[in-house]
Amino acid sequence: MDLRDETAPVRQTFNALPAVAGNLNWAHTSQGGEGRPVYCCHVEVAEKHWLYPPDENGYNGIPLEFAYGALKVNPDKMGCDLRPANPDKIDPASISCCGAESWTESTVHPLTRSTGTSYYQTQDLGRFSEIRRANPKMAESFFAYYGQVMADGNLTRREKALIALAVSHALKCPYCIDSYTTTLHKMEVSEAEMSEAVHVASAMAAGIALVHSVQMMNKLDQLEAHHEIGAGLGATAGS
């Protein structure tokens, strides 16, 4: 629902939405604000409110999106702010996944990029929540589990984010590298610390490849043993 007119009555209506959600006992979250526009591809608006009607008869409630402010086009830039997760279902503060931070606030900044044919498209990072499309129940279970795993526990969120960055490099996921680099930067983790985590992943990958050479040596020893036995039998028969 677009509230384009930046007038006092429209602003008052927009500002009243959180209270309306509270009166209806609906979940609510917001995006954007002063100096933090909300992006969708090449366009932006000033801010948004999201209201979440409850689920009924086994069907998920359809989130209501209210966008305030003029629609501004940025032909040379693009970005994507994901639809925030329903805070009654997922604790947004506990999640630091691929693009997941943008569920709670406008954190995916517009990126200058050229169009290309790569399978990896920058804007796809902001579509992570769309994995709900085919199987929402399993997706919600994943997000809930992910949120619990990445929350503070015996390891801090900082430590877990460094592990995630290392794994992202080991598994070569550009989405995760993008997301966790951003997350760690916000946590004021230094580039040197991030780089060291990546070197740990690189050393492990090298070691994992090299230790498998034992399998090669085992096979060579087996082949050589068979060859020697064969040669010995041949020599015996010849004598």
Mean pLDDT value of segment 93-115 = 42
User: Rounded mean pLDDT of the chain?
Assistant: 82
pLDDT over threshold 60, residue 107: no
pLDDT over threshold 50, residue 108: no
Q: What is 58-113 written as a DSSP string?
A: TBPPPPEEEEES--EE-TT-BEEPPPPP-TTTS-GGG---TTGGGGTS--S--B--
What confidence tens digit (pLDDT) does each residue in 182-199 have? 999 999 999 999 999 999
Please give the pLDDT value at position 112: 37
CB atoms within 10 A of CB 109: 12
Q: Pick the more confident residue, 44 or 110.
A: 44
Q: Pick the more confident residue, 129 or 103.
A: 129
Residue 31 phi, psi dihedral angles, 5° rounding: -135, 150
73-82, 108-117, 226-235, range with the lowest pLDDT: 108-117
Percent residues over pLDDT 90 in the chain: 45
Sheet with 2-3: strands ordered across: 2-3, 64-68, 47-52, 27-32
Q: Can you say how many angstroms the Cα of residue 122 is from the centroid of all Cα atoms in its chain?
A: 12
Q: Pick the more confident residue, 104 or 29.
A: 29
- Confidence bin at 180 (pLDDT 50/70/90): very high
State how far the Cα of 209 lies from the Cα of 94, in Å rounded to an integer.
35
Instruction: Assess contact for 3 and 14: CB atoms under 8 A.
Output: yes
Percent residues over pLDDT 70 in the chain: 82
Could you tell me the pTM of the whole model? Answer: 0.50
b/e string for 153-184 if b means 16 or more Cβ within 10 A? eeeebeebbbbbbbebbeeebbbbbbbbbbbb
What confidence tens digit (pLDDT) does each residue in 42-95 have? 788 899 999 999 988 888 889 999 999 998 887 766 667 777 778 777 654 444
b/e string for 88-106 if b means 16 or more Cβ within 10 A? eebebebbbbbbbbbbbbb
20-29, 36-45, 180-189, range with the lowest pLDDT: 36-45
Please give the pLDDT value at position 88: 77
- Measured between its terminal Cα atoms, the distance across the chain in Å is 96
pLDDT over threshold 90, residue 202: yes
State how far the Cα of 180 lies from the Cα of 187, in Å rounded to an integer.
10
Please give the pLDDT value at position 77: 65
State how far the Cα of 79 lies from the Cα of 111, in Å rounded to an integer.
6
Please give the pLDDT value at position 236: 65
| Length reported for the chain | 239
Please give the pLDDT value at position 185: 93
What confidence tens digit (pLDDT) does each residue in 119-172 have? 677 777 777 888 888 888 898 899 889 989 999 999 999 999 999 999 999 999
In the chain, domain spans? 1-151
